[in-house]
Amino acid sequence: MTTIFDTYESAVRSYCRAFPAVFHRASGAELFDQSGRRYIDLFAGAGTLNYGHNNPLIKRRLIDYLRDDGIIHGLDLYTTAKREFLETFESVILRPRQLHYKIQFPGPTGTNAVEAAMKLARKFTGRNGVVAFTNGYHGMTAGALAATGNSYHRRISAGLLNGVNFAPYDGYFGAEVDTVSYLRKLIEDASSGLDKPAAVLLETVQGEGGVNVASFQWLREVESLCREHGILLIVDDIQAGCGRTGTFFSFKPAGITPDIVTLSKSIGAYGLPMSLVLMKPELDCWEPGEHNGTFRGNNLAFVAATEAIRIYWSNNTLSLAIQHKAHVLRRRLRELCDEFPDGVLSVRGRGLFVGMACETCPQAARLISAEAFRNGVILETCGARDQVVKFLPPLIIEENMLEEALDIVVQCTRTVMHRLVKIPSADTPTPFDQEIQL
Ligand SMILES: *Cc1c(COP(=O)(O)O)cnc(C)c1O
């Protein structure tokens, strides 16, 4: 059934190894394989399908646009689809939030946006260095990869990954250690070995790195540090943005205003490739074509994006629904964690961006994901040791389907944990001495 893939598709393929079905159709939060078997999707294309698979409201607009021979590819030519996107993004997203940004359309992937953002910061400041954070993930092309922590991804290109220094993210040493003070000291001490960087690049919630959540206070302190020293603050909102944490921009509730923001994944609304760099107007020092690309401006994605923004962000209905479903998700997972000895499983996240961490027993996360897949739920893992089960349901998932998926996840977690962990009794004081390998 998967022979053609095994034979011809490069060994680099990855997600299909964890979820080895041959998928055929999808709708909302449901995926169906070629035999018609149903899966509830709590992964949503790593946060690309916030509005669900084949969202019928967006689909209608796309079909109309295709039928009318709307422009699909136009390099960066002016098109009506691009105009409508810009007007809608300005009037529905930026203006009500009092944000003033110019918009750059780089190539259509997230890593393109990060490349452009880092390059712009370097050009504008005339400085080369960028500070990124432990467990950060920013993409796979050399510039963005330089800012990605994971050594598995970095190692082949190690010799090319220059110009980035890593600082500890919020909570890296536990809640007690103030990691902004550490960064401040490095930046302010002319003898620290860290030259003043062009930019600080961060995710407000680290997606691939393990659903690590920065506190609002930490984000504000990083912003102040940047302001005091003329360093640009770049927020990579590719995974945490577009409503994932409950607000359109994940940084907004922290009260910070980044100099540059990258968006991708769900900005294309329908799983269509698209990415954006938002920059404060005074930073726009690009010369024409200085950062170029054939697939800048995917007009079909503009159409989908415009429609999604109109439907879902013109009022706060979606935001409220996200908060409500986030509450349901967190409550169910907390109850689940409480079934096990203290600290074995823990929940963290913001909005519908949630992780269940198995820090003392990292292999549990992969096993829970595999067991959930066998039982019809798609759930990915993340974190340096793949120790975190990641919950990224489509934001539009119906509550009863979310509950249905959670019933399965609860059952699967119990199955895995009871196999792995010896539940404590009077004569086993340290439950984790008894880990059983499957
Ligand atoms: C996915 C992701 C990227 C890279 O996007 P691609 O489209 O895969 O290149 C960059 N930053 C963050 C935070 C991401 O989640």
The reply to whether ligand 1 has any atom less than 6 angstroms from the CB of 241 is no
Tell me: the pLDDT tens digits for 224-239?
999 999 999 999 999 9
pLDDT at 423: 56
Residue 430 maps to a domain: no
pLDDT at 297: 87
Position 204 pLDDT exceeds 80: yes
pLDDT at 422: 64
Tokens of 300: 């079909």
Pair (168, 304) in one structural domain: yes
Tell me the Ramachandran region of residue 44: left when phi exceeds 0, alpha when psi lies from -120 to 50, beta otherwise.
left
Residue 303 maps to a domain: yes
Q: Please provide the average confidence, as pLDDT, over all residues in the chain.
A: 95
Pair (308, 209) in one structural domain: yes
Number of domains the chain contains = 2
Pair (245, 98) in one structural domain: yes
Residue type, 362: P
Residue 432 maps to a domain: no
Residue 428 maps to a domain: no
Pair (88, 194) in one structural domain: yes
The reply to whether ligand 1 has any atom less than 6 angstroms from the CB of 48 is no
pTM, two decimals, is 0.95
Position 416 pLDDT exceeds 90: yes
- How far is the centre of ligand 1, averaged over its atoms, from the C-alpha of 144 (Å)? 9
- How far is the centre of ligand 1, averaged over its atoms, from the C-alpha of 111 (Å)? 6
Residue type, 114: V
Residue 93 maps to a domain: yes
pLDDT at 343: 87
- Boundary-marking domain end, from 244, 278, 312: 312
434 vs 33 pLDDT, higher one: 33
Residue 372 maps to a domain: yes
pLDDT at 2: 80
The fraction of the chain above a pLDDT of 70, given in percent, is 96
> In 10 A of CB 365, how many CB atoms?
29
Q: What's the CATH code of the domain at 294?
A: 3.40.640.10
The reply to whether ligand 1 has any atom less than 6 angstroms from the CB of 239 is yes
Residue 187 maps to a domain: yes
Position 437 pLDDT exceeds 80: no
The reply to whether ligand 1 has any atom less than 6 angstroms from the CB of 110 is yes
Domain that holds residue 401: 3-54+316-420
- CA of 144, closest atom in ligand 1: 10
- How far is the centre of ligand 1, averaged over its atoms, from the C-alpha of 400 (Å)? 30
Cβ pair 205, 213 in contact under 8 A: yes
Cβ pair 208, 382 in contact under 8 A: yes
Pair (160, 209) in one structural domain: yes
CA 23 to the chain's CA centroid = 23
- How far is the centre of ligand 1, averaged over its atoms, from the C-alpha of 427 (Å)? 48
Pair (275, 360) in one structural domain: no
Task: Compute the distance between CA of residue 13 and CA of residue 21 in angstroms, rounded to an integer.
Answer: 14
